[in-house]
Chain A
């Protein structure tokens, strides 16, 4: 039996295995996921020792950020890099591919995770640590990073599942009734979305015999367009649900406000953006023909999401629910970028998603601070925070401007790109929708600001009487939570003032997405798998 195994190995070697040596430097592609996974596993083993977990998880995330920075500058300089697991040649082995978009998203994800870990020190609940807060955060990061870096559609599904399981854990970890209610809505709809994704994957494999992204980009054009459209429709539905685009957005405002602010920030920053990433990758780079077919639909989704989401935010009185609607509004902007298929539009979408990861996380964190100061979650019971803590009010208004896309804050640049793109396509409806979204978002944001900060007292007859429910932040909250948020908001402001690096990165990403040739070349696939599944 053993000899037959060895002959099989010899026969297969020339065609299926990689013969080039892999240098240790190339491992920076896989290390972010491996570090996150191993650190998460290790933290699960030591989850009963409370002291060591914080330091260890922060160290792990710092290591991940260092590796990703190295990878980011490498990719910016030399173009996409790839590694196929187990020394197999793609499409037999699972590829990991990093292009500018995936690595900058991964970088933003780990930055947000770092800030959230530090912020969590102020609201630490022993019960949540015992139930595995830190391992779940690291596993969530592993899932998100894996989803960004993988070059294989089935592997993307696996990372979605990793992410989903970790997010379930984080959502219910506090054990409040409201959280269980949220987990059912969140869990059911997200499972439905992943199932649609899986069904689409099955059809796609049956149609073109490959799930390697580079390979799909090569052969998708030759496949029968009618069933490919069905596959694309399933993917659009699945990722639209993941990204919380209208009309499949209901799960987001129903669930994101229920866990602790730190967890909300992690969700708001990372989870929907993975859906956005998958849409950009699959609809724009892999199946451009189907995307063209869906253009009117994408535009419709974009317009409706852009306008309805901030209206939802205006109607809400619960602070973090309102922010949930602002997250959805950002998804609308990304859809607007996707539905304008030129470099400007796609660059705008990528840039917007990156901005949204940082800004929305910071928004939830500031909301958490506001809730601590006012001891309320409903804006009707808030008021007078400007007098109590003016720093928080500044952070909040900066984030409102960034989310609405007012210059010179970070959100302005991607919206400018998207508006330019719509003008170049003379798509006036979409252009007005983007601009109206900015207006509505600033109305929603300033309404929140006026209620929470400006108004001296609480809602109703007491609104002129100073709010007596306010409390000071204690020293841990100031040292950990407030300073972490200040660093993140400061970072957002600096990036907004010096957007050149991000402009370049967004441009590279867009060019790679619209013309995936360098992405394909990096994996080593040249001719593509034929439709029957045999290599040519």
Chain B
């Protein structure tokens, strides 16, 4: 799109949306949010950037193919379940670890790894669809 206002604001907007999507992803386990909704926000950010600067620019900026990103997401989501293999518990059992940095206690868990996988799968799939649609429009 050739609007000056949109083209100026779009990169900033995209950056904010991606950061916000990561925030939504990480607060997911106990509060509203999570990988799916975070992934949708990030994918909309990518779609907005695509509308503003064109699909080829976005593909360059993404560095990896969206479908590969989705594959990576499915892969680590499945991997997060395999981490419980050595613990005498069934597949996909949540394992929790705590790291203390000063007064803050950070929780690290396999459900979080799973959610990150979901995040990548959603970002990859939705942005692949969005970019393909935007590409089709540009051809006409």
Chain A residues packing against B (C-beta within 8 Å):
1-2, 5, 18, 21-24, 26-27, 30, 34, 37-38, 40-48, 83-87, 93, 132, 135
Contact between B30 and A37, CB atoms less than 8 A apart: no
Contact between A34 and B68, CB atoms less than 8 A apart: no
Contact between B79 and A38, CB atoms less than 8 A apart: yes
Question: What B residues does A38 contact at CB under 8 A?
Answer: 74-75, 78-79
- Tell me, yes or no, whether B81 is within 8 Å of chain A by CB: yes
Contact between A24 and B90, CB atoms less than 8 A apart: no
Q: In the complex, what residue of chain A is closest to B111 when comparing beta carbons?
A: A86
Contact between B78 and A37, CB atoms less than 8 A apart: yes
What is the distance, in angstroms, from A63's C-beta to the closest C-beta of chain B?
14
Contact between A24 and B86, CB atoms less than 8 A apart: yes
What is the distance, in angstroms, from A64's C-beta to the closest C-beta of chain B?
14
CB within 8 Å of A: which B64-116 residues: 65, 67-68, 70-75, 78-79, 81-82, 85-86, 88-94, 105
Known: A5-B30, A24-B85, A34-B78. A135 touches B71 (CB 8 A): yes
Contact between A37 and B74, CB atoms less than 8 A apart: yes
- Can you give 30 A-B contacts (C-beta < 8 A)? A5-B30, A18-B89, A22-B89, A22-B90, A23-B88, A27-B91, A30-B91, A34-B78, A37-B74, A37-B78, A38-B75, A38-B78, A40-B71, A41-B71, A41-B73, A41-B74, A41-B78, A42-B71, A42-B75, A44-B67, A47-B67, A83-B91, A84-B90, A85-B90, A86-B92, A86-B93, A87-B90, A87-B94, A93-B90, A132-B67
C-alpha gap A85/B93 in the complex (Å): 7
Interface centre among A38, A48, A132 (most CB of B within 10 A): A38
Known: A41-B75, A44-B70, A45-B72. A83 touches B81 (CB 8 A): no
C-alpha gap A450/B70 in the complex (Å): 49
In this complex, how many residues of chain B approach chain A with their Cβ under 8 Å: the count is 24
- How many A-B contacts at CB < 8 Å in the complex? 73
Question: What B residues does A27 contact at CB under 8 A?
Answer: 85, 91
Question: What B residues does A26 contact at CB under 8 A?
Answer: 90
Question: What A residues does B105 contact at CB under 8 A?
Answer: 2
What is the distance, in angstroms, from A144's C-beta to the closest C-beta of chain B?
17
What is the distance, in angstroms, from B8's C-beta to the closest C-beta of chain A?
35
Question: What A residues does B88 contact at CB under 8 A?
Answer: 21-24
What is the distance, in angstroms, from A133's C-beta to the closest C-beta of chain B?
13
Identify A1's interface contact among B30, B68, B71, B90, CB under 8 A. Answer: B30
C-alpha gap A26/B30 in the complex (Å): 31
Question: What A residues does B68 contact at CB under 8 A?
Answer: 44-47
Besides the known contacts A18-B90, A37-B74, 6 further A-B residue pairs in the complex with CB atoms under 8 A apart: A22-B88, A22-B90, A38-B75, A40-B71, A84-B90, A85-B81
C-alpha gap A84/B68 in the complex (Å): 30
Question: What B residues does A43 contact at CB under 8 A?
Answer: 71
C-alpha gap A86/B88 in the complex (Å): 11
C-alpha gap A45/B67 in the complex (Å): 7
What is the distance, in angstroms, from B10's C-beta to the closest C-beta of chain A?
28
Q: What mask results when residues 29 to 72 of chain B are scored 1 for a CB within 8 Å of chain A, else 0?
A: 01000000000000000000000000000000000010110111
Contact between A86 and B94, CB atoms less than 8 A apart: yes
Q: In the complex, what residue of chain B is closest to A34 when comparing beta carbons?
A: B78
Known: A5-B30, A85-B90, A87-B93. A34 touches B71 (CB 8 A): no
What is the distance, in angstroms, from B78's C-beta to the closest C-beta of chain A?
5
Q: In the complex, what residue of chain B is closest to A26 when comparing beta carbons?
A: B90
C-alpha gap A27/B90 in the complex (Å): 8
Question: What A residues does B74 contact at CB under 8 A?
Answer: 37-38, 40-41, 44
Contact between B93 and A45, CB atoms less than 8 A apart: no
What is the distance, in angstroms, from B71's C-beta to the closest C-beta of chain A?
3
Q: In the complex, what residue of chain B is closest to A37 when comparing beta carbons?
A: B78
Q: Which 4 A-B pairs have the closest CB atoms?
A: A44-B71, A41-B74, A41-B75, A21-B88
Question: What B residues does A85 contact at CB under 8 A?
Answer: 81, 90-93
Question: What A residues does B30 contact at CB under 8 A?
Answer: 1, 5
What is the distance, in angstroms, from B90's C-beta to the closest C-beta of chain A?
5
What is the distance, in angstroms, from A80's C-beta to the closest C-beta of chain B?
16
C-alpha gap A93/B30 in the complex (Å): 19
Known: A1-B30, A34-B81, A86-B94. A41 touches B89 (CB 8 A): no
Q: In the complex, what residue of chain A is closest to B110 when comparing beta carbons?
A: A86
Question: What A residues does B94 contact at CB under 8 A?
Answer: 86-87
Question: What A residues does B82 contact at CB under 8 A?
Answer: 34
